Chains A and B, each alone.
Chain A
Amino acid sequence: AQSVAQPEDQVNVAEGNPLTVKCTYSVSGNPYLFWYVQYPNRGLQFLLKYITGDNLVKGSYGFEAEFNKSQTSFHLKKPSALVSDSALYFCAVRVWNRDDKIIFGKGTRLHILP
């Protein structure tokens, strides 16, 4: 069965420091991988996706994620955190040409400290 794990419920980072939000997945097949962000009282917003090609994917708001097939990971990164990055982040996986639905992780709450 497909699954996504976000091992950290919460991540705290000082403003200006680099941030990483971790995600690992387990699928049988080729994965589509996604990151979504949810700000308070809002729906989930698409940040970036990996389908194929370059393992480093760049997305919105300066975020990027690196696909690592051997470690089955897709960590979200940003070189310099902003207070406005504080939000709930979801990793998700969809299996290419197999599953109809996306499997979401439980979410990681990111706090950027001023």
Chain B
Amino acid sequence: DAGVIQSPRHEVTEMGQEVTLRCKPISGHDYLFWYRQTMMRGLELLIYFNNNVPIDDSGMPEDRFSAKMPNASFSTLKIQPSEPRDSAVYFCASSSRTGGYTFGSGTRLTVV
């Protein structure tokens, strides 16, 4: 298995633009998690899905953030409009019911 695949690896965008981050989880994993990591706040859970259904989105900072999981092999995290304070590394992770997480390599987002 190729692991959790995230794209793009780096994204630089201007304030106000829409940003879409993508994630392909490990086949057979029924949980998918989106995290954000910054120096100031560390690792924050944004939202997670079970069997493609959003379970807990209480970590999503604002209405500008949205996440979807249209099928078991794909998820997106969208920011619209983006702001400089959204600059961070965004990680996707997947897991089975009882296992640990497997993380993707992350997307480093810079909003200028």
User: Which residues of A approach B to under 8 Å, CB–CB?
Assistant: 32, 34, 36, 41-46, 49, 51, 90, 92, 94, 96-97, 100-102, 104, 106-107
Q: Are B43 and A104 in contact (CB under 8 A)?
A: yes
Size of interface on B: residues with Cβ below 8 Å to A: 21
Contact mask B83-112 → A, CB, 8 Å, 1/0? 000000001010100101111111010000
Q: Are A32 and B98 in contact (CB under 8 A)?
A: yes
B55 within 8 A of A: yes
Q: Are B100 and A101 in contact (CB under 8 A)?
A: no
Q: Are B100 and A46 in contact (CB under 8 A)?
A: yes
Contact of A101 among B33, B98, B103 (CB under 8 A): B33
CA distance A106 to B37 in the complex (A): 11
Q: Are A43 and B91 in contact (CB under 8 A)?
A: yes
Contacts of A101 in B (CB 8 A): 31, 33, 45, 48, 56
B70 within 8 A of A: no
Contacts of A45 in B (CB 8 A): 103
Known: A100-B55, A101-B33, A104-B43. A46 touches B48 (CB 8 A): no
Contact of A102 among B50, B100, B104, B108 (CB under 8 A): B100
Q: Are B103 and A43 in contact (CB under 8 A)?
A: yes
B61 within 8 A of A: no
Q: Are A90 and B106 in contact (CB under 8 A)?
A: no
Contacts of A32 in B (CB 8 A): 98, 100
Contacts of A46 in B (CB 8 A): 100-102
CA distance A106 to B42 in the complex (A): 7
Contact of B100 among A34, A42, A43, A100 (CB under 8 A): A34
